[in-house]
Structure 1
């Protein structure tokens, strides 16, 4: 719905405000009058009308109102639902990922408008303070408005310059959903499939789709009664075999297209994680290649976990202690686990407490609390 409104109104803030007003009106009317036959079309029409009313009230925007009124299509509800909807989310992504914006702003704005993440969630995902993220979002919206950046998928020769940001956004939406927000994970997979249709010969697109399908195949085993279940404790018989096959097919296509980039490498790692038992030596080697490609300390953290499985926790800990991710909760939870395996209980308790303090309420925090209780007992 927001993607539709941004496309029609050409203004992120106006679209968001109008959408909120429409939902508030629906919350008051629908329980009394019943849900309309086409709720989405009703909401879009109501939001559009509220936006026009707002512009009318602002006498300084008379000229803009005339332009907007001329641009607003008379949309039949079925046309909104069937003909327009499939591409609007992609159009919104490519609008947000315009090269006129800094890459950090591209990613943040898309996560906010398409992924529905809060400013705080985006700040934590990108490892920056919340205030910095809020300022970044405001500047990005203003720049799109001032520069008149069009709401559309760019022509083929311009797709590549936006692709890195688009893939990053979809990956981050999936990661946020993988923590228990299934609707976000499903949205990311939908977008991944749509991108493969748009760019069928781009190996990194297929690599990203492979990653998401392979990881999502274990979704039904990652939680038990709301509690987190680690990979080694999951039942492989309950993994979605059909989805694993789909993910590996996408990975094979990516490799056949000559793919050797970060998403293809991560797809290969995800494929190994979908085997029981895992080939940790091969996973560690692939993380080494991924680290070479990305120079990411988060990748090095994941390599440390794999190294710990092959060479022991002390070897993994040496890698972890050389990283600078001091406010990254997964560094502290990984360090705590390795210290626990080494029998360094007091240090492990300190690391688990630090990880807990950096983690919001939810399955991950409850898992850390259980670990603390087990160690302290």
Structure 2
């Protein structure tokens, strides 16, 4: 983000857990950085981790590629147009998981309370466990130094009193930076932030907020909670709490994930026959998330929402879990035959998920290294 680091005034709504010390560590362009580290010929070049072709997507992009506008989850064909000089590298998730476990071992030197979000980021509660260091900031710096010296990679870190602020802070000075948001600094850090940086504010929500005249956190602070709820429902309630830096969630170590899914609200309401490409896209997104965590699922779920907001789910339990995004898409698309709605029905949302998760690794300890939300 390249934003400010600290401030001076303390918001009245932010104090409930000011005694907590949370560090959020985010590896910089992780997959692409591992590829560049392990193959010197890729250093300094725009690297895209992912396949080529109309059905492929970008799993990760180096900072050299990001300068051209290439981003993760982007169709590979678009990435090629934006950066014709990009070097495409097939992802190697087994190698990325191995490096992620090395990073996790560094975390464990300072605290046992580690909540991974994915292979490349995690929350650490260092309120009491600091590996002999006096401050959370010192822990964050020690972790970043160890990652640099031992693994020859870089990481960015945010230090704050809760998970929301720590995650926002870790983005503030990427790559290879640190940002500390002290309790008395919350207002100066938060108020200028564009709302797109807040979790859950995607492009569509951002457009809706912009139409209401809400561009920054300060704009949200100028509204009452009741007004925000009237405009936005539950989103307004969440936005109000985020604007004041409120986040009561504890860091949850080794939280077992029970399912993985992705969904998308369509720009236009579509007939059942027109949903297959969107199901495929959501299956690919779900598959990427599952692969990053090292697991697959034996139960495939298709979620649909009709134009009149009726939610439908159909599922299929398989003898063996899908082994590719194509298999997952095929299973999910087959569930269209079981929707059982009139031909005139139109749908506004598509989702694909997996449950009954199982590790794709043989290591019995692999459960501890899953991808968590």
| Both structures adopt the same fold (TM-score exceeding 0.5) | no
| Structure in which a larger fraction of residues adopt helix | 1
Determine which structure has more spread, i.e. the larger CA radius of gyration: 1
More strand by share: 2
TM-score (norm 1): 0.23
With a CA cutoff of 8 Å and minimum separation of 6, indicate the structure with the bigger relative contact order.
2
Question: Normalising by the residue count of structure 2, what TM-score does the alignment of the two structures yield?
Answer: 0.24
